[in-house]
Structures are given as structure tokens and as C-alpha cells.
A and B are shown apart, each in its own frame.
Chain A
Amino acid sequence: MKHLSEEQIVLHFYDDADNSAEVREHLSACEACRTEFERVSALLTQIVPIEVPEPHESFEQKIWLNVRDRLPERQRVFFERFLSPPKWVLAGVMAMVVAGAFFAGRYWPRPKGTPTELATNREADVQRGVLVAVADHLDRSQILLIEIMHAEPGDVHEFPGEQARARDLLDSNRLYRVSAQRAGDPATSRTLDDLERVLAEIANGPSELTEADLQRLQRQIQSQGLLFKIHIIGSKAGQEQRSHGELPGNQRL
């Protein structure tokens, strides 16, 4: 007669054996296996749940005070979903920024200067307009990428949230990239192009990443130096915002 394996005996103790009827039948017929089962039972019944010393009365308050200071400022996913402007509004704003900068350069009383200088100035204004408008988008993208770079394998179950954000960012990213191209800003356009590939990868990837998937994504972000590029353009945009107070086109209109 073939004896039960240790695994079958242990799992039978918890009623988790796959073939419990057969195990039971075998135990009633086989003394050796029955003795082994009794040994396992004797040991396991002695392992009683660990007594947990009750924490102090103000335990919950202490936890809250520690947690409260570390809570993120806002629930990005929720607010992005419900409060962020629809894509057509973003598109409209971008179009207005670009058009504003264009018309400002075209109809504002022309300062003295050579045609080449004037053309260069107009182009610079349009570029500045795109740069300022893209700042918030880059900021949000940067936060998403940083979260992914710092994600640990255990965090992957929360990936659907990141995917939803990536999808939102992907749509606006396309608009900004096209605007940057039209505004003649190759540096911003190239960075947005790189960003778009990564966002597409996140948005269209599986909702549950394996550790290998996560590492591949992290490598992709790292190898392109994307966070650094975004940081540089974001800083530039921030400087523009600070030095002009508002969009350059609007300033002159």
C-alpha cells in the first residue's frame, strides 16, 4: 500500500487536501499514516494563536497623527478624473495659446529691426507660449514617472490607477507635441515624443505587471533620461512663467 505523503497529511489536518475522502479512507486503514497524522495534529494543536498585547488607549490617535502628516496633498486620480478639463478644452486652450502668440507677433505694432530679427522674435514668442502651457502637463507626467520608478514589485497590483492617469496624459501629450512641432520647438517636441512612447507603454500594457515588466518600464524611463529632460524643460517653463507672469502672447495683446 502506498503511504500518504507528508504534504497530504498536513493539508488533511486543515481539511485542504485535494482528495480528502481518499485520505480519510487511507488513514482509517493504515496505522503508520494514522500515527504520523496524530504526530502532526499533536504539534499543530499546541501552536495556538499568538497573544497580542493590546496597544495603549491612544493608539489610534497616535497612528492618525503619524499618518496625517504623510498623506499626499490630493488624491490625484480622483481629481484628475473629475476636475481636470476635458480634452477638447485642453485642445482649445492650446490652439488659443498658439494662435494668440501668432497674432500678437503679426498685428502688434512692429518694433524697429531687421526682418530676420523680427521673425526670430515671433518664433521665440510662440515657443514660449507652448512652453508655458506645457508646464503643468510635464509636472503631472513627472509625478507619474517618479511613482513608477519608485514602485516595488509588491506595488504592481495598483497599476490600473497609473494606467488611467497615463491614458489621460497621453491624449494631452499628443496635442502638446503637435503644438510644439508647429511652434518650431524641437527640444520640447522630442521630449514629448519620448514621453508619449512611455505613456503609451504604460496605458496600453497589462493591468497587472510582472516584476520583469515593471523593471523593463523602469529601464525604458531611465535609459532615455526622460525624467531629466522633463525636469529641464519644466524648469525652463517655470522660469518663463516667473519672468513673464503670464503667457507672452497675452501680455502683448
Chain B
Amino acid sequence: MEVSDAAIVAQVLAGDRDAFRVLVERHSRSIYHVAYRMTGNAQDSEEIVQETMLRAYKALPRFELRSNFGTWLYRIAVNRTLDFLNARKRVQETHQITEDPDFEDGGGKEVQLAATGPGPDRLLLSAEVKQKIMQAMNQLSAPERVAFTMRHMEGKSIAEISQAMKLKPSAAKNSVFRAVQKLRQQLGPLAGQTE
């Protein structure tokens, strides 16, 4: 029978540092998935997983053994990702870096999709749509992106989002709304393109 997360936490707290390895092995992949959906980048996600695990280890004495370790870790990961996205945004703003040189800064501009020629290849269009969505997501602020990803892509409730992001439920709702509003501005023509 698999040893529970809580039992392993107790083992680590009793001084067995290497027991933490089991928790890293059990949860790294799911944290990676969360981080990737929010950052869209493998290397960044890997870094967030490491930071989350380190933070969790340091905070382990404050983990309540009755709680779900995965949920607790998820909240830490959300906060690490928020910090990461905020820092990335600051760097981008400072250095005026645009990840995709072909992509214009979307300050109110709509993302222009390629004109549909006769018999368009739907796969190519789909890939392009995904790319446009990713670009539009990159224009969101860190809290908007995290809140939107949690609500739209991971199906988390407003209560879960507000708890993880340490926001009031009204602020969590507002973050989701502002994200959708910005995405609508960016992806305005998208709905018409793929119909």
C-alpha cells in the first residue's frame, strides 16, 4: 500500500530529508502541468516546479497533516507562478522585449488573423489560432492570466481561485472578467475565422 503524503511529511519533519524525494516524485509532474498552462514555456515551468518544491520544503512545518498535500502544493505553485509572471512582465517592460518579433504589442490592437483563402487547411488554421491565443494570453497581467487559466482551463471555482491567489472572491471574479475582456479585444475576429 502506498504511504500517504501526510506520513511522508511527518517523516521529513522528523529529520529524514531524503523522504522529501517521494513527494517531489509524486507531485512534480502535475505542478509542471499547472505551470506550463500559465506560462506556456517548458523551461520556465521546470523552474517553477523547483521553486515550488523548495518553498514547500521550507514551509513544511506549517503544513497541517489533515490537509491535502496536493492542494497545499498547488497553492504554493500558483503563487510561485504569479511571482514568476510578474517578474517576467517587469523584465519585458524594462527591456521592451517582445517574445515574437512579428507580434505587435497589443495595446488595444486586435490580433489580425490570416485571410482565409479558398479551401484553407483547417489544421494550419487551428495551429495559427492556438498561436494567436497564446500571444493574446501573453498580454494579460499576471493575476489575470493565472485567474483565467484556473477558471477557464482548470475548471477551478471562484472560491478556489480566491483562496489560492489570496484574493477576495469579488477580486478573483474581476480578474477573470478583465482577462476575458482583454482576450476579446485581442481575438475579436477569431470567432468569425473558424466558424
Contact = CB atoms under 8 A, between A and B. Distances in A.
Interface of A: 6-7, 10-11, 13-14, 16, 39-40, 42-44, 46-47, 49-50, 52-53, 55, 59-64, 66-68, 70-72, 74-75, 77-79, 81, 152, 154, 157-158, 160-161
Contacts of B53: 63, 67
Interface string B146-159: 00000111100010
B145 to A, nearest CB: 11
B25 A60 contact: yes
Contacts, number: 122
Overall SS of chain B's interface: helix
11 contacts: A14-B176, A42-B191, A50-B37, A50-B40, A55-B29, A60-B24, A60-B28, A64-B28, A72-B58, A75-B58, A158-B58
A52 B32 contact: yes
A192 to B, nearest CB: 26
Interface of B: 12-13, 15, 17-18, 20-21, 24-25, 28-29, 32-33, 36-37, 40, 42, 46, 49-50, 53-54, 57-62, 79, 82-83, 129, 133-134, 151-154, 158, 166, 173-174, 176-177, 180-181, 183-184, 187, 190-191, 194-195
A60 B83 CA distance: 23
A146 to B, nearest CB: 14
A-B pairs, top 4 by smallest CB distance, nearest first, are: A49-B153, A77-B61, A42-B191, A60-B25
B24 to A, nearest CB: 5
B92 to A, nearest CB: 19
B117 to A, nearest CB: 20
Contacts of A7: 174, 177
A55 B57 contact: no
B21 A154 contact: no
Given A16-B176, A47-B152, A158-B62, A67 B191 contact: no
Contacts of A152: 83
A171 B132 CA distance: 59
Contact of B62 (A6, A50, A160): A160
Given A46-B129, A154-B79, A71 B57 contact: yes
Given A14-B151, A67-B54, A50 B184 contact: no
A44 B180 contact: yes
Nearest to A53: B42
Contacts of B42: 53, 55
A64 B21 contact: yes
Contacts of A10: 176-177, 180-181
Interface centre among A42, A67, A79, A158 (most CB of B within 10 A): A67
A154 B54 contact: no
Contacts of B17: 71
Contacts of B36: 50, 52-53
Contacts of A42: 191, 195
A135 B32 CA distance: 43
A60 B29 contact: yes
Contacts of B61: 75, 77-78, 81, 161
